[in-house]
Amino acid sequence: MKIILIGIQGAGKSTQGSFLSEKFKIPYLSTGHIFRELSKEKSKIGRYIKEVMNAGFLVPDKKTLKIVSEYLNRSEYKKGYILDGFPRTLSQAKEFKNGIDKVIYLRVSDKEALWRLSYRNGDDNREDETLAALRKRIELFHKFTEPVLDYYRKKGVLIEIDGEKPIEEVNKEILKGIKK
């Protein structure tokens, strides 16, 4: 099973992604995590990605597609995966030729996401989680990622979930949506 998780930062994608990964015994991967690892490299590409991430901008589509395709070609992802953070633009969605079963959209308001993230940042600060970067990511979500939701809605694979409900309820709603 190939599942995509979409939502603004703080929507609970990694929590739900880990849960689904355990439930269906398929690996979870997030492009944010892949890029954070790459940004640690002391190479030209590493420095470039670090700069883009710290500003809250998006890594260009071509680079993103290349990196994601390379990852998904690995044998561990052959049977399926839970993919978090990709696609984030319409062009990424259209170019992605991997066959998707379901796309789960965890919907939370900007206000709720910012509140959750400021709380989370209390004890675990991440270099790319400054308030300016978070606001930029939310702005880019509305501009570039919302069209991706429409794209999958029209294809009939989008499951929309109220991500502001308690974690367990969100779990249940997702499973219900997948079984439909």
Binding interface with ligand AMP (CB under 6 A): 9, 30-32, 35, 52-53, 56-59, 64, 85-88, 92, 137
Q: Which residue is nearest to ligand AMP (CB)?
A: 32
Answer for the pair 54, 130: CB distance below 8 angstroms, yes or no. yes
Nearer to ligand AMP, 57 or 119 (CB): 57
Q: In angstroms, what is the minimal distance from the CB of 180 to ligand AMP? A: 26
Nearer to ligand AMP, 136 or 175 (CB): 136
Nearer to ligand AMP, 16 or 92 (CB): 92
Q: In angstroms, what is the minimal distance from the CB of 30 to ligand AMP? A: 6
- How many Cβ atoms sit within 10 Å of the Cβ of residue 100? 16
Task: Give 2's contacts (C-beta < 8 A, 6+ positions apart).
Answer: 80, 81, 83, 98, 99, 100, 101, 102
Nearer to ligand AMP, 52 or 175 (CB): 52
Q: In angstroms, what is the minimal distance from the CB of 101 to ligand AMP? A: 19
Q: In angstroms, what is the minimal distance from the CB of 142 to ligand AMP? A: 14
Nearer to ligand AMP, 12 or 85 (CB): 85
Q: In angstroms, what is the minimal distance from the CB of 85 to ligand AMP? A: 3
| Bridge partner list, 29 | 83
Q: In angstroms, what is the minimal distance from the CB of 144 to ligand AMP? A: 9
Nearer to ligand AMP, 117 or 170 (CB): 117
